[in-house]
Copies of this chain bind each other. A is one copy, B any other.
Amino acid sequence: MAFSYTVTKTDPHCRARLGLLSTPHGTVETPVFMPVGTQATVKTMTPEEVREAGGRIVLSNTYHLYLRPGCELVRDAGGLHRFMHWDGPILTDSGGFQVFSLGPLRRVSEEGVTFRSHIDGSEHFFSPEKAMEAQMALGSDIAMAFDECAPYPCSREYAQEALSRTTRWAGRCLAAHRREDQAVFGIVQGGVYPDLRRASAAELVDFGFPGYAIGGLSVGEPKELMYEMLDHTVPLLPVDKPRYLMGVGSPDCLVEGVARGVDMFDCVLPTRIARNGTVLTRRGKLIVRNAEYARDFTPLDPECGCYTCRHYTRAYVRHLIKAGEVLGIRLTTIHNLHFVLSLMEEIRQAVREERMIDFARKFLHEYQKV
């Protein structure tokens, strides 16, 4: 089997664990954060820079690649790995989250979703079968089932309907999937309703997916509610399969998520805020665009060993960003990705040493005090 997951260690004081996720493009240690390469590139970075920052598996977006440059083109280029020059594992989302986010630009039926391109307004149709076909063409290591992600807030009835459809679509995804070198993960839905989460998890686990995502969180609900849903949902998932919390990547949520048993994360946050001139430090966010850093000749984060912090000052990075220079957002992106990926390494070390709870308490205290 080209894909496998092995839990190698569990922290006895919480749900945190270590694991090895094996894919046709290599094995990665979990818990892992996946940098997002929406359009077949982690914004502003080369693959070598992603790896240097600590990236071992990246996420790419089927919706975006389907519209541009087209999944068949990527297939003809030799697949997504070769197209984007990334030889490590790739996870692709199904496009479900994006098409449901289009709001008035989409119509949902049992068969699938009709939507208009955000690029040129052209009409398209996505279904479980089309989402599988697209991801098979891309050739990612992990494909995601096509799901319906309910918004927050949303009624119990809507959440119920979305999760039932997600289950039916999960079956259609598995029926349509035909690549042995690609794993398909199911996605648990159910909004913020514990009994619906329970129903969704039970139905999906029946399919025997090689991995499970927890979807429909980090969509606007308070963080405490997200943590509560994790506490409900994680125990319903098989202990020997990876658990992936979709769209989550702020430092505090990574720490809280791992402590609750999550193995995989992805989020645009570290790279997106970098492009707005905000950088992550152990003492919280620092808005390096601000005038107070104009003459600050210290690194973005004096405790950081990334390329940016080794060679450049806040004053220089601020100058570049104010002047609209690309190098500015490259430097902040390198730093933020390095920050999050180093944090994951520290988290894994803490789990290895059975002190995740202690690590979480200390980290959250320091991170949130500013």
Cβ-defined contact, B68 with A322, below 8 A: yes
Cβ-defined contact, A323 with B43, below 8 A: no
Indicate which residue in B45, B294, B326 contacts A73 across the interface (CB closer than 8 Å). B294
A142 to chain B, nearest CB (A): 22
Chain B residue at minimal CB-CB distance from A275: B326
Cβ-defined contact, A77 with B46, below 8 A: no
Chain B CB within 8 A of A320 CB:
yes
Cβ-defined contact, A73 with B330, below 8 A: no
A327–B5 CA distance with the chains assembled, in angstroms = 33
Cβ-defined contact, A41 with B320, below 8 A: yes
Interface of chain A residues 327 through 361 with chain B (CB within 8 A): 327, 329-330
Chain B residue at minimal CB-CB distance from A334: B46
Residues on B with C-beta less than 8 A from A41 are 320, 325, 327
Say whether, besides A73-B294, A297-B77, A68 and B313 are in contact (CB < 8 Å). no
Cβ-defined contact, B316 with A40, below 8 A: yes
Chain B CB within 8 A of A285 CB:
no
A323–B61 CA distance with the chains assembled, in angstroms = 13
A329 to chain B, nearest CB (A): 7
Cβ-defined contact, A325 with B43, below 8 A: yes
Chain B CB within 8 A of A116 CB:
no
Cβ-defined contact, A323 with B68, below 8 A: yes
Chain B CB within 8 A of A69 CB:
yes
Cβ-defined contact, A68 with B319, below 8 A: yes
Chain B CB within 8 A of A363 CB:
no
Say whether, besides A77-B316, A85-B312, A313-B77, A69 and B326 are in contact (CB < 8 Å). no
Say whether, besides A295-B76, A316-B40, A316-B77, A326 and B323 are in contact (CB < 8 Å). no
Chain B CB within 8 A of A6 CB:
no
Residues on B with C-beta less than 8 A from A76 are 295, 297
Q: Mark A48-90, 1 if CB is under 8 A from B, else 0.
A: 0000000000000000100011000100111000011100000
A77–B78 CA distance with the chains assembled, in angstroms = 48
Chain B CB within 8 A of A10 CB:
no
A119–B9 CA distance with the chains assembled, in angstroms = 57
Chain B CB within 8 A of A114 CB:
no
Chain B CB within 8 A of A27 CB:
no
Residues on B with C-beta less than 8 A from A323 are 39, 64, 68
Cβ-defined contact, A316 with B43, below 8 A: no
Indicate which residue in B39, B312, B318, B326 contacts A329 across the interface (CB closer than 8 Å). B326
Indicate which residue in B44, B295, B313 contacts A327 across the interface (CB closer than 8 Å). B44
Cβ-defined contact, A69 with B315, below 8 A: yes
Q: Mark A101-138, 1 if CB is under 8 A from B, else 0.
A: 00000000000000000000000000000000000000
Chain B CB within 8 A of A369 CB:
no
A327–B44 CA distance with the chains assembled, in angstroms = 5
A19 to chain B, nearest CB (A): 31
Chain B residue at minimal CB-CB distance from A45: B327
Q: Which 4 pairs of residues, A with B, have the shortest CB-CB distance? A: A69-B319, A44-B326, A85-B311, A41-B327
Q: List 12 A-B contacts (CB under 8 A).
A: A40-B316, A43-B325, A43-B326, A64-B323, A73-B294, A73-B295, A77-B297, A77-B316, A83-B313, A83-B315, A85-B311, A326-B326
Which residue numbers of A lie inside 8 Å of B, CB to CB? Answer: 39-41, 43-46, 64, 68-69, 73, 76-78, 83-85, 294-295, 297, 311-313, 315-316, 318-320, 322-323, 325-327, 329-330
